[in-house]
Structure 1
Amino acid sequence: MLISTSGRAIDIFTDSRITRMEDNVISSLSNADYYNACKTFIRDVKNYANAGVPSGQYRVETEITYANKVSRRMKSLPIYITALVISLGATLILSLSSKGKVTINSGTYEETGSFVLSETRDDYIRESTTRTRINDSSSSGGSGKSSTHIGSSGRTHGGSSSGRKF
């Protein structure tokens, strides 16, 4: 389950409110009682929308903004286009100049029947384990915090930072 907000809804649906909304519908979803889950969700949305922005609400940017990423890409766009044109030109020249001269097939580097695979084995080399602590969403802080991120459209969004399973 994932809840996404934008515009004024970012300020109304704070992280703690979204967590409570998820908590309210998860049990119904887990029991395949989708009708009651939807009723509960709509009731919560209506109640929080009518309550408005809670006092002490603030936003926390959780990612590098999309606009900054686009700005950096746009500055290097002429370089990418120049590199593309040069590489396409070189590929075209080399392809046309060697057309019909070189034939590479399975017999180019070995004699017919000279390679026979007689033994196979897999050797285990090493193991790598990475551990990352996942904070409990209920301990994430006060009721006024709204985590935000910039979507691919360039607009600011709030809501669940990670989906919950049911």
Structure 2
Amino acid sequence: MMKYSISLKNHLIFHKATLFYYLLGAGVLYYLDFDRPAVFIFGIWWAVDLIPALYLHLEYLLMNRGLSYEITTNEFIQGENDQERTIKVEEIDKVIVYKSASMDKGGIPFLAIESYYYARIILKSGDEFILTRLLIPKLEEVIKSLKGVKFLRKKRLFCTVFWR
């Protein structure tokens, strides 16, 4: 059983594509000898790309800060402040994953915000848990390991936990 929590490794894994695009842009600017209009255009693009991503990053960080999860085929365990809550799959009504279409197998995210996605685990009691990709890098794969749970997918470009 694997224990998931927010870590520095998760932060770094999260932004491989973004870092690649920024380095590529810096290379293009270097090639263009940092021409003032090119720097301006790239600066606007990076701001438009980076500001929403920073918002989502902070939102996800605050949502899952201090939490840990263990997920098996039969249950998941939430840990918080030395207390654990065990949820059996029979108690789960459904799981909804909010994810960009570009994150499907073979897809390429072009914007930093496309790497952000999360899952809502809704219990039959009405309680819910929100697990973000910052907490579990392969979130959808791990969530699908819960056997016998109704799994839904909603495609979004901007996956804030406040829009359902």
TM bucket by the smaller chain? under 0.3
Greater Rg, structure 1 or structure 2? 1
- Structure number with greater CO (CA < 8 Å, separation at least 6) is 1
TM-score, with length taken from structure 2: 0.22
Greater strand percent: which structure? 2
TM-score, scaled to structure 1: 0.22
